[in-house]
Amino acid sequence: MRHTLPPLDSLWVFHIVAQTGSLTAAASTLGVTQPAVSKRLKDLEATLGCALVRRGANALSLTALGHRFAAEIGQGFAQLQAATQNLQAQDPPLRIRAYTTWAMRWLIPRLASFRDLHPGIDVEVSTSTAMVDLAREGVDAAISTARGDRPPSPGAQRLQAVAVAPFAAAAVAVAWGDGSGAGGRLLGSKVRARDWPRWLHANGLNIPAPPLLFESTTLAIQAALEGLGTVICTPGFVQDEVREGRLVGLPGRTLVTGDHYWLILPSGRRSAPLRIFSDWLVQQSAAETDT
């Protein structure tokens, strides 16, 4: 027994006609001419060997067979649309490379809001301080820092200016009030080893001892929480700890370092999910900069 189907495009035309109830409206929806819609319908009826529509002088209606056929193929098209959406939802996640502290303390806390806006786009975050080769390492985009306003690579988009200030546990912070300018051991990260000297110089203070540098600012923040010293970092990274009283901001002005976070993007064509994510990231950064 031969299994044949009418042309799918003819079925789709009939489906739209049945939904709109008009050749003119169907033609507008499909972006074709009314005669083209009429011809598709006639071809479909000829293939099926039955009338699907009644054509009046100023109106069009479905026959009994047409009503039944429209309902059944409507279910089929709904299943096709659902299957397509499910397939698109299974697209591989966006792979984003970032510095550990920025990823943990800025990006990840905001990903839930991105997920609410775009439930079909998953974001997979990895961390590294090394330079990234997007194509070779299979990474869709990366976050990096660079000095000044000049993009570090073609197409890079600027996110935030890097500003730093010192924070310590309350007991350690007391030492800053005695005029010595020392709040326990100075803590920082190897990636941003110059932040302490630059902040102390900007505030007219001497370096009491070489800072103890960790692999990431995240580790330095944890050391400060444990009372091991005073960490220098971006204020936004420790806003929860400050609000909870676990860390205290120390006297002195916040230093705008002249560095910026940049979104590093691939050259050439970018996927729709990556465009959506990069636009959201830039908007988030701009909104928080303006507040």
pLDDT of residue 1: 39
Chosen CATH of 93-291 out of 2.30.29.30, 3.40.190.290, 3.30.365.10, 3.20.20.70: 3.40.190.290
State the DSSP code for 8.
H
φ, ψ (nearest 5 deg) of residue 165: -155, 160
3 state DSSP class of 167 = strand
**0.85 cut: is pTM over it?**
no
Contact 48, 54 (CB under 8 A): no
Q: How far apart are CA 110 and CA 6, in angstroms?
A: 49
CATH of domain 8-89: 1.10.10.10
**In the chain, where the domains are located:** 8-89, 93-291
pLDDT of residue 232: 97
pLDDT in tens, 92-150: 889 999 999 999 999 999 999 999 999 889 999 998 888 878 878 888 999 999 888 88
CA distances, 25 to each of 20, 94, 218, 232 (Å): 6, 40, 60, 65
- DSSP for 52-112, please give it: -EEE-SS-EEE-HHHHHHHHHHHHHHHHHHHHHHHHHHTSPPEEEEE-HHHIIIIIHHHHH
Q: For the chain, which ranges sit under pLDDT 70?
A: 1-3, 57-58, 86-91, 176-183, 289-291
- In one-letter notation, the amino acid at residue 84 is T
